[in-house]
Structure 1
Amino acid sequence: MEKKELLSEVAEITAKTLVSTIPVGGTLVTCIWDSIKANAANRRMEDWKNQVEEKLCDLKLSLDDIGNNELFASAMMKATDIAIKTAEDEKRQYLASAVKNSAMASIDESVMMIYLDLLDKYTLWHIRILHLFRNPKAFDQVHVDGIMMGAASIVVEQVYPEIAKEKELLDKIVKDLQNDGMMSEGSYMHAGMTSNGVAASRTTELGNKFLKFIIDE
């Protein structure tokens, strides 16, 4: 058997080893970490590279332009670190859009880093809820005509019924966004309002700028 074939066979046997049979004392964690790097991390990196390439291929910029762009370099390095840490393909799409926009946007690096830190911190539900409340009427699922009195949570129920059922979790998500200045303050999620109030925009200027940076529209 050739050396290459032998190494391949050893790697396959190791990958199929039951965790319960690996000795503790550091060996177990080392084996698990090696498996993560060989599988999940590699898959995520490949997905990330493909997503970034798809975003950048439309840019009318030379390699020199990209290579000398300090803002782009900072965005690429930070976004790559975040991309490897998430299993969510949708979140990597937002990160790839942010990288693309960093190559074209006129933005202070400190502000950009704040946006990327928020993107790192937020779950997909935070981003979806924020996006929804930028302009609820832009979503085809939202129908508020005829509502005499209701709360803003109605539009969440119409677009994202699965998270609307988790009322405490939804309240936390909205509160997180309000605390970060991304959504306006108030108890509109539960307060009675007319149909216009139910479907009104709730994002702040900061929230709108954040969405513009992470969404490729």
Structure 2
Amino acid sequence: MDKDKKKDIGYAIAKAGLGSIPIVGAAASELLQLIVIPPLEKRRSEWMEQIGQKLKDLEEKETVDFQSLQENDVFIDVVLQCTQEVIKTSEKEKIEYFQNAILNTANGENPELAEIQIFLNFISDFTIWHIKILKLFDEPNDWFDKNNKTVPNFMGAGLSSILDIAYPELKGRREFYHLIWDDLQRAGMHKTSGLHTTMTGSGLMVSRTTKFGKKFLNFITENPID
């Protein structure tokens, strides 16, 4: 921390300590601003720089046109909403999902505005575990291949067995992942009611996401541009 910043915080602390009760609130507010505002500004600056660079890359590949984007109200709405949400989180995965949402909107590979707003709200409201579990059960075979994991030849088991193999840290946390599974079902993301219903080995590896769920995952996933 540089000397000026230390001096400012030290002054705010002294002011809070010496002030009478009626001004403690104001002094505390000043201290909070010194602590919180700089990191928020840093987040915003880093975020805008990242997005700017990504959009520049797309323009150089002639995938997007800056003039068209300036006149695209949907794109502007998405950038504003994503920026507000990114400033409120330190989770790198969520920041990446918001970034991909902007880039896919810029590319024109996006749903209608109402669905975009719903999807952006999902990124904000869901935990990272919601999206991890949704991705796993979207295409289980592909997920295990990409993550270099092997699924035993089950004669019969429930989807919870697949979840335990994919994410051992979730073993014994049934209430936690059941809550997530139910959230995803209410959101229309998947079409399976229970994680413990016994099914065949091949049945375990069938995609469980709805068309709506796949659309959501596609919207928050970076689509490579040649």
> What amino acid sits opposite 2:175 in the alignment?
E
The answer as to whether partners of 1:182 and 1:204 remain within 8 angstroms in 2 is: yes
Inter-partner Cα distance in structure 1 for 2:11 and 2:187: 45
The answer as to whether partners of 1:55 and 1:97 remain within 8 angstroms in 2 is: no
Distance 1:159 1:185, change over 3 A: closer
**Which residue in the other structure is 1:117 paired with?**
121
Inter-partner Cα distance in structure 2 for 1:163 and 1:22: 45
**Which residue in the other structure is 1:66 paired with?**
69
> What amino acid sits opposite 2:160 in the alignment?
S
**Which residue in the other structure is 2:200 paired with?**
194
The answer as to whether partners of 1:144 and 1:198 remain within 8 angstroms in 2 is: no
C-alpha displacement at 1:208, in angstroms?
A: 0.5
Runs of 5+ in structure 2 lacking a partner?
A: 18-23
**Which residue in the other structure is 2:217 paired with?**
211
Distance 1:20 1:162, change over 3 A: farther
Distance 1:97 1:13, change over 3 A: same
Q: Are residue 108 (structure 1) and residue 96 (structure 2) matched?
A: no
CA deviations on 1:81-138 (whole Å, 9 max, x unpaired) are 0101111011100100000111122532122111111111111111111111110111
**Which residue in the other structure is 1:27 paired with?**
27
User: How many residues are paired up?
Assistant: 208
Moved over 4 A (4+): 16-21
Matches of residues 11-160 of structure 1 in structure 2 within 5 Å? 11-15=5-9, 22-23=16-17, 24-39=24-39, 41-56=40-55, 57-59=57-59, 60=62, 61-103=64-106, 104-139=108-143, 140=145, 141-160=148-167
Identity percentage of aligned residues: 28
Inter-partner Cα distance in structure 2 for 1:22 and 1:16: 10
**TM-score of the pair, normalised by structure 2:** 0.82
Over the aligned positions, Cα root-mean-square deviation in angstroms equals: 2.3
**Which residue in the other structure is 2:191 paired with?**
184
C-alpha displacement at 1:145, in angstroms?
A: 4.5
C-alpha displacement at 1:216, in angstroms?
A: 0.8
Inter-partner Cα distance in structure 2 for 1:215 and 1:125: 16
C-alpha displacement at 1:10, in angstroms?
A: 4.2
Partner-residue secondary structure (3-state), 2:25: coil
> What amino acid sits opposite 1:42 in the alignment?
E
Partner-residue secondary structure (3-state), 1:137: helix
> What amino acid sits opposite 1:138 in the alignment?
D
Inter-partner Cα distance in structure 1 for 2:149 and 2:161: 9
CA deviations on 1:52-94 (whole Å, 9 max, x unpaired) are 2343222422221111111110100000001011110111001
Q: Which moved more, 1:197-206 or 1:54-63?
A: 54-63
